[in-house]
Amino acid sequence: MINRFDRRGAALLWTADSGAAILMAAALAAGVAAAARHDHGALRLAVGAMVAAAALRAALQIGATDAGEIAAADAKTSWRKRVYPRVLVAPPGDRRMLGEAVADAVDRIEDLGGFHARFLPLRRAAILSPLVIAIAAVFASWIAAAIMLATLVPFGLGMALAGTAAARAAARQLDALSRLSGLFVDRVRALPVIVGFGAQERIGRHLADATREVAARTIDVLKVAFVSSAVIEFFAALSVAMVALYCGFNLLGILPFPAPERLTLGEALFVLILAPEFYLPMRRLAAAYHDKQVGEAAVERLEGIAPPAPAPSDRAIEAPPALRFDAVVVDYGETAIGPFTLDVASGSIFALRGPTGIGKSSLLHALLGLAPIGGGRILVDGRDAGDVALAGHVGWAGQSVAFIPGTLADNIRLARPEADDAAVEAAARDAGLGPMIEARGEGMALRLDHRGSGLSGGERRRVGIARVLLKDAPLWLLDEPTADLDARSAADIAAILASAASGRTVLMATHSAELAAIATSEMVLA
């Protein structure tokens, strides 16, 4: 509600600015007329009114800008609520690069700012303001008002033509720009590889080509976009010229047709000053036209990222579930894995084994909905996995452990935000992080960055294990939880997992014989 009021508020303030322009024109016309009459008192009054009208316009413009900005912040906030959660759980196998997704989420929402702060209020004002100006002009010269309104027809046609072409080109350009951002993020992320192999020059050349291509595309867009502003410029200039010529010939009394009205100097100057004001709202709108193109293209992309969400299932799993994979095929488009059929009994520890690359991890991802299922069904307690709220109710330890900037405790607590410090520390020690915590001397407050720098491969794995232990969920999904660990550590972890796993269903993918030994059943994928 506040949102709508504010948006209208900005439009009304911009329209009020046109009202102040009328005051300005009237004061100026009255002043010149007074000067012609040598009426010094009236002249001084008019001069004062001009300054006052200018001050009023200045204040209204500040207010309109601010009101637009408030409306924009509201609009952006509601988009963020919708889009951010989707980007955070993008399937890792998705073809789009991560950077592209983040650029979409952050930049595209920022792109909406100008659209809501400037374009929308100015569009409302662009309908109201010229009418206000034309009505004011009628009082001085109805023909001048008619001239202004008549130029609107060819103007509208020109804008419609230029506008559609520009919108198409802008959408294409936004695509290219977004890909470029994604390329930058990806290459910067792979910097250790690029630098390690001395490939800077090759990668740099490739990116230079990509940036030049985007620049060339942008210029194509601008060629069209500037046509629409040229159309406005032209009609704004034309309406000034036509009003000036009509008024001049009317005052001279040499119009080539019988004059329907007789103008005074004051009236003529009044409509002349109003003529550029008639097109000013459109020129302002044209200056914000880029905001519109960017904003609309952004909305389209955002709709793509975050389609209206289906109602999430609230049927959470409570008891250890039974899982059934029924001829499941994971289909990545270019490659497909499966079909696999397997049954995991409730409360059992099930090990998926098999040669590298056969699709053990993909099956785990598919259960979470992170891998596209091309055929078959996954059932959780007899219900389709999509209908069961697994997200938030499982323990997960993956092949790579993700870190957020923060302390070690923050990182482990991700699994169960309400866990107290003692529980978090207990989980860390159970996962075998004890010696590391002692050695660093910072305890659970050890600072980690988003790459978990400073932790060894094995320590990262143990952070993942600590999360699983803390989560205390009825279903655990473990993806090679002991890879990167030496035999002794792997055996430790296997023992910890074995003792903590009772009363849960555990599905794990592993090569490790120690870990497979704790399983109650196993299957070799082939």
Partner 1 sequence: MDRLLADAIGPERRAFHIAGALAVAATIAGILLLGLSGWFITGAALAGLGGVLAVQGFNYLVPSAMIRLLAIVRTTARYGERLTGHRAALMALATVRARVFDRILSVRDVRAVSAGDAVTRLVQDIGALEDRLVRKPALPAALAGAAIGLVLLWLASPWASLALLALIAGLVLWGHLATPRLLASAATDIAAALARLKAGMIDYAWASPEILAYDLAPAIGRSLAAEAAELDRARRRFARGEAIIDAGLTLGGGVAMAAVLAISGAALPMTVLAMLAAAGAIEALSGYMRGVSRGALVTAALARLEDVAGRDEALMRAERASGPVGRTIALDRNGAHVRLAAGERLGIAGRSGSGKTSLLETLAGIRAADRDCGIVLDDRPLAMLPPAAVRAVFALSPQDALFLSGTIRDNLRVARAGLDDERLWAALDVACLAADVRAMPHGLDQWIGDGGARLSGGQRKRLSIARALLAGKPWLLLDEPSEGLDMATEARLAHRLDIWLRDTGAGLVVASHRPALLALAGEGAGAILKIDGPGRPSS
Which residues from 262-301 bind partner 1, rule CB under 8 A? 263-265, 268-269, 272, 276
The CA angle 444-445-451, to the nearest 5 degrees, is 95
Does 61 help bind partner 1 (rule: CB under 8 A)?
yes
Burial profile 45-75: b = 16 or more Cβ within 10 angstroms, e = fewer: ebeebbeebeebbeebbebbeebbebbbeeb
Q: Which stretch binds partner 1 (CB under 8 A): 67-75, 168-176, 299-307, 498-506?
A: 67-75
Residues ≥6 apart with Cβ < 8 Å to 479: 360, 361, 364, 396, 397, 398, 399, 508, 509
Q: Which stretch binds partner 1 (CB under 8 A): 83-91, 149-157, 376-384, 419-427?
A: 83-91
CB 454 within 8 A of CB 444: no
With binding defined as CB under 8 A, does residue 31 bind partner 1?
yes
Minimum CB–partner distance for residue 475 and partner 1 (Å): 10
- From 10, 11, 22, 24, residue interacting with partner 1 (rule: CB under 8 A): 24
CB of 326 to partner 1, least distance (A): 22
Closest Cα to residue 126, out of 284, 287, 294? 284
Taking the least distance from each CB to partner 1, the nearer of 130 and 398 is 398
Which of 8, 19, 45, 106 binds partner 1 (CB under 8 A)? It is 106
Under rule CB under 8 A, which residues in 354-393 are in contact with partner 1? 354-361, 365, 368-370, 390-393
Task: Please say which residue, 172 or 202, places its beta carbon nearer to partner 1.
Answer: 202
Range 438-457, binding partner 1 (CB under 8 A): 439, 450-451, 453, 455-457
> Scanning residues 162 to 201, which ones bind partner 1 (CB under 8 A)?
180-182, 184-200
Task: Tell which one of 241, 319, 327, 517 touches partner 1 (CB under 8 A).
Answer: 241
**Dihedral angle computed from the Cα positions of residues 375, 376, 382 and 387, in that order, rounded to the nearest 10 degrees:** 0
Alpha helices (H) along 369-456: 408-413, 421-430, 434-440
Report d(CA 513, CA 507) in Å as an integer.
Answer: 15
Q: What is the DSSP letter of 119?
A: I
> How far apart are the C-alpha atoms of 299 and 293, rounded to whole Å?
10
Residue from the set 3, 149, 161, 234 that interacts with partner 1 by CB under 8 A: 234
Which residue number, 327 or 391, has a Cβ lying nearer to partner 1?
A: 391
Among candidate residues 181, 225, 187, the one with its CA nearest the CA of residue 204: 187
If binding is defined by CB under 8 A, does position 78 make contact with partner 1? no
The Cα–Cα gap between 360 and 511 comes to 10
Q: Which of 7, 15, 26, 57 binds partner 1 (CB under 8 A)?
A: 57
What distance in Å separates the CA atoms of residue 113 and residue 292, rounded to the nearest whole number? 10
313 is a contact residue toward partner 1 (CB under 8 A): no
Q: For partner 1, how many residues bind (rule: CB under 8 A)?
A: 175
Of 16, 117, 328, 428, the one binding partner 1 (CB under 8 A) is 117
Rounded-to-integer distance, Cα 239 and Cα 252, Å = 20
Task: Build a one-symbol-per-residue string for 33-52: x at contacts with partner 1 by CB under 8 A, - elsewhere.
Answer: --xx------xx-xxx-xx-
